[in-house]
């Protein structure tokens, strides 16, 4: 069996039907095998970064493994931003790269380059993959491919990279194996060291962890569940929500986990955010709770603010995480009033789901308090004239209610989207979280379409959209049902806001006439053959619905004022529950006294 045929057949048997990449000499055998396999489809991007982000969007939307490929040298290097995105957001993606024939290597140590378009992609990718390896002998592919897939899909999931020299791709596999057994964690030595370093106070056993959680819940009067992307199974998510409903515990999510709960779910109390989180979520978690149950959420500075030790000082924090490295970090000073549990969130949630619910005095009153905080602070934000883009995003979400997934790019529009997009039950919002990569949304929406089989959408800013604008040809070529919204304020709005506050309004590289400019995106889309429309923000509610109807791709360009802002925003040094523009003192004091 030809080796490249085996690689494709292996991944197809693991459920990967769609492959994203860009053709090249050193990867041609693999692409030929994808094309010849009757059960797989090859999808060509116009930059390898687009292929990588499409694979990330596929993995996010389907919650399963994805695959992207590239040729050697510049092709492989172009994948790396998507590799990093998958690594930081724990997405199981198999990256396959072509490489020089093994016989072209000279064996001369220190030689800068062995041949044309050669790059040591394994060394470059190792810091941002769970596993990266070059195959030097065809006989190794069976073990290495099985091992790489196992690593990508178990434990804290993430990307792997396999570098395939051209002569290896055309080699032979004599005994193809599609399901090898491995130890629970093939990188166990590193994990053991991380556990030892983390703390002697980490709980490991499920029974002990469940007892600790239940004991703390019995004592708590104001518990909150903080739900992160680490709860990556739909079954586990629903069991955790059921656990919260039965005990009347409010849920606050990370941005990546926003779509776990529908926007109008009574248990949903918003997204935590050190700078731009929901005002009410920040107040409930940081200032009002006495117990935070944190499932698969990193509690990084973007979530809880740069003054980490100041977060939720009046609450006990229980952190359930599969990654021992995350648990090495303390939130409270010296880890006081903090319980760390090293566990797979799904296993622990399943055990908690079996614990009988007990009546707790005062818990229903706590939900009333949280609801009052949400209602009052949401009213404060809804009244802010600066938040007109948020209101427009809410209007757009009504027009996109039938889409399976919405990929959101990076910038002010990302903040407006996670604050105000009204996601329905089962509708996924996809973000580039830890990596925060501009140019993510359009290819991610493409990948999400192949993952779900449903129409998708993407929301971009004018700066972010230009990063991978060439993938419009991919959308047109395959006539994909992707609705594209470009928020055009003719500026890099988030940095412009920063420059206004801290750089005396010197808008270097962010506005027209100062190193940045934007085009007419509706005309660009028309040049690609995609129906398009340009309108001002205030006209979206009345004019956009008719344009957005129908099948196939469309691009809607929404014109905004140059000086747009993302609010509420935590001012540097302020507690995260007291954001600008500040709530009226009477409202703030009343809610803090509840």
The 10s digit of each residue's pLDDT in 307-342 is 999 999 999 999 999 999 999 899 998 888 999 999
Domain final position from 185, 203, 219:
185
CA angle 507, 388, 514 (to 5 degrees): 15
51 and 166 inside one domain: yes
Measured between alpha carbons, how far is 417 from 389 in angstroms, rounded to an integer?
9
Measured between alpha carbons, how far is 156 from 232 in angstroms, rounded to an integer?
10
234 and 130 inside one domain: no
Domain final position from 133, 162, 185:
185
| 266 within some domain | yes
On the 0-12 / 13-18 / 19+ scale of CB atoms within 10 A, 332 is middle
**pLDDT value at 506 more than 80:** yes
User: What's the predicted TM-score (pTM) here?
Assistant: 0.95
Percent of the chain scored above 90 by pLDDT? 85
| 263 within some domain | yes
202 and 103 inside one domain: no
pLDDT at 372: 97
| 570 within some domain | no
pLDDT at 189: 47
On the 0-12 / 13-18 / 19+ scale of CB atoms within 10 A, 379 is exposed
pLDDT at 195: 56
- Per-residue model confidence as pLDDT tens digits over 370-407: 999 999 999 999 999 999 999 999 999 999 999 999 99
Measured between alpha carbons, how far is 538 from 560 in angstroms, rounded to an integer?
9
Structure tokens at 208: 């002990």
| 584 within some domain | no
**pLDDT value at 44 more than 70:** yes
**Domains identified in the chain, total number:** 3
CATH number of the domain residue 129 falls in: 3.40.50.970
Residues facing 232 on adjacent strands: none
152 and 239 inside one domain: no
Band (pLDDT 50/70/90 cuts) for residue 258 is very high
123 and 239 inside one domain: no
- Per-residue model confidence as pLDDT tens digits over 344-363: 999 999 999 988 877 666 67
**pLDDT value at 523 more than 70:** yes
Q: Note down the domain range covering 364.
A: 191-380
- Per-residue model confidence as pLDDT tens digits over 285-315: 999 999 999 999 999 999 999 899 999 999 9
Determine which helix (DSSP H) or strand (DSSP E) holds 316, and give its type and residue range.
Answer: strand 316-321
403 and 302 inside one domain: no
**pLDDT value at 74 more than 50:** yes
On the 0-12 / 13-18 / 19+ scale of CB atoms within 10 A, 113 is exposed
C-alpha closest to that of 270 among 410, 89, 418, 393 = 418
Q: What is the mean pLDDT of the chain?
A: 93
**pLDDT value at 99 more than 60:** yes
pLDDT at 190: 56
**pLDDT value at 579 more than 50:** yes
45 and 142 inside one domain: yes
CB of 64 closer than 8 Å to CB of 233:
no
Q: Read out DSSP for 156-167?
A: S---EEEEEEHH
**pLDDT value at 184 more than 80:** no
pLDDT at 8: 98
In this prediction, residues 15-29 reach a mean pLDDT of 97
In this prediction, residues 224-241 reach a mean pLDDT of 94
pLDDT at 364: 80
Q: Read out DSSP for 394-441?
A: HHHHHHTTT-SEEEE-SSHHHHHHHHH--PPTT-EEEE--SS--TT-H
| 234 within some domain | yes
In this prediction, residues 480-504 reach a mean pLDDT of 94
């Amino acid at each position: 069996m030809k080796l490249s045929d085996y690689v494709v057949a292996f991944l197809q048997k693991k459920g990967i039907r769609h492959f994203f990449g860009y053709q090249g000499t050193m990867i041609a055998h693999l692409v030929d095998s994808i094309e010849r396999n009757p059960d797989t489809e090859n999808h060509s991007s116009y930059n390898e970064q687009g292929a990588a982000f499409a694979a990330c969007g596929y993995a996010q939307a389907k919650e399963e493994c994805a695959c992207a490929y590239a040729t050697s040298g510049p092709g492989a290097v172009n994948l790396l931003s998507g590799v990093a995105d998958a690594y930081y957001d724990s997405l199981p993606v198999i990256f396959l790269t072509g490489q020089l024939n093994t016989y072209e290597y000279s064996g001369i140590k220190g030689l800068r380059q062995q041949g044309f378009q050669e790059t040591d992609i394994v060394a470059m990718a190792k810091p941002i993959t769970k596993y990266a390896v070059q195959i030097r002998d065809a006989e190794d592919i069976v073990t290495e491919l099985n091992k790489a897939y196992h690593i990508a899909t178990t434990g804290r999931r993430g990307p792997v990279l396999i570098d395939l020299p051209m002569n290896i791709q055309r080699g032979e596999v004599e005994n193809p194996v599609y399901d090898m057994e491995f130890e629970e964690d093939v990188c166990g030595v590193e994990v053991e060291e991380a556990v030892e370093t983390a703390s002697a106070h980490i709980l490991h056993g499920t029974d002990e962890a469940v007892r600790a959680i239940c004991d703390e819940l019995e004592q708590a009067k104001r518990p909150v569940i903080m739900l992160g992307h680490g709860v990556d199974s739909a079954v586990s998510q629903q069991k955790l929500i059921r656990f919260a409903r039965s005990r009347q515990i409010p849920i606050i999510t990370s941005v990546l986990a926003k779509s776990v709960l529908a926007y109008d779910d009574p248990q949903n109390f918003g997204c935590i955010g050190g700078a731009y989180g929901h005002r009410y979520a920040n107040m409930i978690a940081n200032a009002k709770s006495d117990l935070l149950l944190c499932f698969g959420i990193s509690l990084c500075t973007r979530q809880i603010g740069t003054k980490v030790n100041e977060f939720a000082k009046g609450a006990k924090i229980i952190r359930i995480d599969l990654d021992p490295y995350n648990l090495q970090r303390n939130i409270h000073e010296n880890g006081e009033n903090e319980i760390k549990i090293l566990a797979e969130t799904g296993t622990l949630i399943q055990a908690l789901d079996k614990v009988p619910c007990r009546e707790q005095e005062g818990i229903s009153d706590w939900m009333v308090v949280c609801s009052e905080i949400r209602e009052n602070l949401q009213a404060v934000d809804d009244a802010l004239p600066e938040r007109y883009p948020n209101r427009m995003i809410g209007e757009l979400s009504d027009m996109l209610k039938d889409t399976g997934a919405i990929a959101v790019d990076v910038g002010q529009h990302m903040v407006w989207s996670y604050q105000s997009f009204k996601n329905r039950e089962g509708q996924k919002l996809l973000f580039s979280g830890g990596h925060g990569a501009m140019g993510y949304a359009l290819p991610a929406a493409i990948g999400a379409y192949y993952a779900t089989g449903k129409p998708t959408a993407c929301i971009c800013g004018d700066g972010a959209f230009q990063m991978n604008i060439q993938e419009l040809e991919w959308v047109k070529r395959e006539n994909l049902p992707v609705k594209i919204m470009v928020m055009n304020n003719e500026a890099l709005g988030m940095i412009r806001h920063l420059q206004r506050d801290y750089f005396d309004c010197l808008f270097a590289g962010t506005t027209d006439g100062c190193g940045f400019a934007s085009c007419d995106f509706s005309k660009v889309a028309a040049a690609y053959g995609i129906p398009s429309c340009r309108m001002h923000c205030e006209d979206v509610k009345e004019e956009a619905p008719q344009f957005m109807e129908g099948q196939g791709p469309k691009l809607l360009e929404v014109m905004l004022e140059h000086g747009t802002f993302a609010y509420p925003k935590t001012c540097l040094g302020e507690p995260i529950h007291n954001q600008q523009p500040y709530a009226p003192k009477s409202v703030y004091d009343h809610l803090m006294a509840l």
